[in-house]
Amino acid sequence: MSMLSRVAERLFWMARYLERAEDTARLIHAYTHMVMDIPKGSEPGWDILVRILDAEPNFAQHYRAYNEQNVMKFLIAEPDNPGGILSAIRAARENVRTTRDVLPGEVWEHVNELYLYAQEFAEKSISRRNRYQFLETVIARCQMINGMVVSTLPRGHAYRFIKLGQLLERADMTTRVVDVGAAALLGDERLHSTVDPLIWTSLLNSLSAMGAYRREIGPQVEAGAMVDFVLRTDTLPRSVKFCLNGIRKELVPLNNNRDALALVIKARRKLSAFDPQQCSREELHLFIDRFQFILTQLYNSIDRTWFMTEERQALTTLT
């Protein structure tokens, strides 16, 4: 049984948006936690979170100051921010609405409930007091939906394209998380000694990787080792290496996969050749930038090969 390109595309984006909502929630959660541990005056700014998501131009259209209130509003409740939690959940729901017939019935119900929950509570969850509960609920519900997919969806095209969307988004987000660590501290030497470990720890927390890091490497979080760990540990589900391996596995059974597979191989090669322990922060930032470009190419290849209809191809050539 094959699958319509349009349906595959919508499933891919449903998974991408759900993963985005979860990852953004994790990031805000971990960052808020960290900020509370840092004495007033020396904490890094809230603008970092907006920068991670490359959302400065969009932010500037709605707000002026990068204060906690504005940034939280923008990342949690802003309907016009595609990286924001509320709008990502809404976009996920729109994509499931038209593909529910290829998914287990409960998936639609739970995505819809998640949307109703976010719609009711996003705006009320900007303050620190309510924020935790909201973020934790979003994360837990996203994981519940993932669990349903893993435990009930037959391993066919639907599963494959959901996995591709999820892993691609996750790989992208993990590189962004690493980049924030690099960017947060660039050119601000006075913070390094005290704040540095706190930032890296919070970033590990946002990837649910602190426990694994302690067991594998030790309790002391150090920049080079942390970056190496989240980029290249092939057993860690949120590491870039793990995501690339997963993407490869889902690509293999698809027709016309040559182009996309070549890009995955290229990305893996870049990752192996890079040594986070030996590089400066500028070099790390540059690496992430280039690596994200490969991920974009990979998305374009998936889009071109399996999603794009002829009309859209014609439109692209025109513009």
Partner 1 sequence: MSLGLAQRSRALNCFIDDIYNRQKILADGIVPADIVLDSGNYKAPCAGVSPRYGAWAHICGTDLVRDQRGKFYVLEDNLRVPSGVSYMLENREITKRVLPELLENYSIQPVDDYPSRLHSTLASLSPRPLRRPCIVVLTPGIYNSAYFEHAFLAQRMGAELVEGSDLFVDADDALYMRTVDGPIRVDVVYRRIDDDFLDPEVFREDSALGVPGIMRAWKAGNVAIANAPGAGVADDKVVYAFVPDMIRYYLDEQPLLASVKTYLCMHEKDRNYVLANLDKLVVKPANESGGYGLMIGPHASKARRAEFAKLIEDNPRNYIAQPVLSLSTAPTYIDDHVEPRHLDLRPFILQGKDTWVTRAA
Interface with partner 1 (CB under 8 A)? 2-6, 8, 97-98, 100-101, 157, 161, 254-256, 306, 309-311
Instruction: Determine the distance from the C-alpha atom of residue 181 to the mean position of all C-alpha atoms in its chain, rounded to a whole number.
Output: 15
Rounded Cα distance between 230 and 190, Å, is: 26
Nearer to partner 1 among residue 69 and residue 256 (C-beta): 256
* Residues 276 and 153 sit within 8 Å (Cβ to Cβ): no
Nearer to partner 1 among residue 272 and residue 309 (C-beta): 309
Nearer to partner 1 among residue 4 and residue 60 (C-beta): 4
Rounded Cα distance between 165 and 243, Å, is: 11
Length of the chain: 319
Q: Give the nearest distance from C-beta 254 to partner 1 in angstroms.
A: 7
Q: Give the nearest distance from C-beta 41 to partner 1 in angstroms.
A: 52
Q: Give the nearest distance from C-beta 93 to partner 1 in angstroms.
A: 12
* Residues 63 and 84 sit within 8 Å (Cβ to Cβ): no
Q: Give the nearest distance from C-beta 315 to partner 1 in angstroms.
A: 12
* Residues 271 and 232 sit within 8 Å (Cβ to Cβ): yes
Nearer to partner 1 among residue 3 and residue 271 (C-beta): 3
Rounded Cα distance between 313 and 186, Å, is: 41
Nearer to partner 1 among residue 74 and residue 307 (C-beta): 307
Rounded Cα distance between 222 and 292, Å, is: 23
Q: Give the nearest distance from C-beta 311 to partner 1 in angstroms.
A: 6
